[in-house]
Structure 1
Amino acid sequence: MIDPHDLEHCRSAIRHGSLSFHAASRLMPTRLRDPALALYAFCRLADDAVDLHDHKRAAVRRLRERLDAAYRGVPRDAPADRAFAAVVEDYDMPRALPEALLDGLAWDAERRRYATLSDLRAYSARVAGAVGAMMCVLMGMRDAHALARACDLGVAMQLTNIARDVGEDARARRLYLPTDWMEAARLDAESFFAEPLPLDPVREMTRRLLHEADRLYARAEAGIAALPMAVRPGIFAARHIYAGIGLAVRRNGYDSVSWRGRTSRRQKAGCLGLSGLRALASAGMPRSAVLYAPPLDETAFLVEAAARPGPARHAWGEGRAGSLVSVFAQLEARDRDRRALARDAAGAS
């Protein structure tokens, strides 16, 4: 059980450090909201420990020591560590999931760049897909299909963050745009750092990131609709609030260099209302074939780590029925992609 004083500290940290998650958490039932706040507080602490310190490699090393202590049941004497250790014990959290998060933060410490969109998805899988998988564990959803869609949602959120922060990252001499995109556009990273401008090629790369995020949000929705009804509003809220950031960037002509997209309090409130309605509308609806789509190659290791042993772990690739479901899932996802492209084209005109 999480100590109430530790939980209040976690709640305060999220209230000030992650407005989007704090807003979404208001729609979660208490039995999920409290451990989720503890989980997010530890993740926030880990991210800040690397991002806000000059000696980043040493910061990652200390985080690994804190994670090890939490899993040994002797956490550091700090509220977020104690709360996270309680979550680990109460929910039998697979260690590979927070380890993946720390791997992603280590990549940040190295200032690693990503050659392809697949490489960027691999990074996003670690810093955000792992959090989606951990949320599934808190819900008791250890089914491989639900885990795959939760990882889709986490990756979509991270790609949205990257698209929003292109200018901010450039001014800090960080680059998350795939370097093969940069090369194709004949843009040099050092020149971009020296003078970050919302050039047309940069806007186009931002558009491509948001298009990929939209594709994954659509895949994730099939998983949200398969969750217990009590938790659907909160997860729908997270999906819509983060997608709203992408919509703000899109409305600004994909310029996230001279302006940082965000959602207002009023927009967040609108997302909460929409999410409740969407949760109600999903009741009794047949499950989408997209639920059974294979996990992203970049998130499959997270699904394997969190799924319970048994036939369901590999159900997406077994037998003629599994193959048929996969075909339908791909067709439905492709149809969603075509509709998204049509919306982009309409907006551009």
Structure 2
Amino acid sequence: MGFIHVTVAALCCVVVVFVGFPLSSNAELDPSFYKNTCPNVSSIVREVVRNVSKSDPRIFTSLIRLHFHDCFVLGCDASILLNNTDTPTKIESEQQDSPNSNLRGFDVVNQIKTAVENACPGIVSCADILTLAAEVSSVLAGGPNWEVPLGRRDGLTANRTLANQNLPSGLFNLTQLKSAFAAQGLNTIDLVALSGAHTIGKAHCSSINSRLFNFSNNDKPDPTLDPSYLQTLRNTCPNNGPETNLANFDPTTPDTFDNNYYTNLQDKKGLLQSDQALFSTSDADTISIVNTFASNQDAFYESYKASMIKMGNIGVLMGKNGEIRKQCNFINKKLVDQLDLASVVPKKSLEEGIVSSF
């Protein structure tokens, strides 16, 4: 969730993303999918991410966020990686919309793809690389590890409209958050667990300025903010100051993947409005989940792993659907020439809509 550093705006509607390509019959993702064809893929991904993190410690949260933003639009099919193209078919990149305007890590995904192609050409999808990179990032940041189910194939299109519609906003209240997650088949526990990825990373001041100075247009700060934390944030994000300044999601252990995100919520130190809403919404069922994760890091880790696997299953392409891209930013021309794209692209993915963001 960004999982993740964010840019925010309002959202008006939620669209279910399970309208993508159908799964092949009896197909299942499997952690051993590349056992015989690319047995070292996980270690290759890990090595690239580890090397990049030496000079860019933010890469962990960036890669987790990329996976999240991919799966919430057309499913986990690497559509987030596609650039604008006119041929062999026109694609409007999801990277150009508001919720994705500050995404990072595309170059690192391409580094991983190059390394994997050198070892196992034409075998590993970009969608699986995104999923593996998210798990590796969790581990290298000190968080949990899990066996990543594999076997995804890459999509043949992107959908900027759905990116604007489906991605939850940092300005969301709890009702809006639940609706956005439910649209992806994710429940309340998934919402709280996946939000825990905000234990690492940073957000632009533009994401929180309204909470600091003009919450609900009343020229006052958000009352759910701890006063001392409010002052700390105002020092980082002064009124009318640079909106590109960065604030840590977790003011206690900002670079470690732990459960302090939840203790921060208990202390009214959630960075985004959508973070604090998990604990400060009156009589919310999320409060008890936050309390459990705050007091038991193992419980958080177990739920986070389960929810990441569940999210990674959204709308996946398998079997003969989609393709294995040679380059993550472009679809393969040869395959497109053989297909009637109108027969495989969901109608809703061709529609235009209003802008919203995460």
TM-score above 0.5? no
Hey, which of these two has a bigger chunk of helix by percent? 1
Give TM-score, length-normalised by structure 2: 0.28
Higher relative contact order (CA 8 A, sep 6+): 2
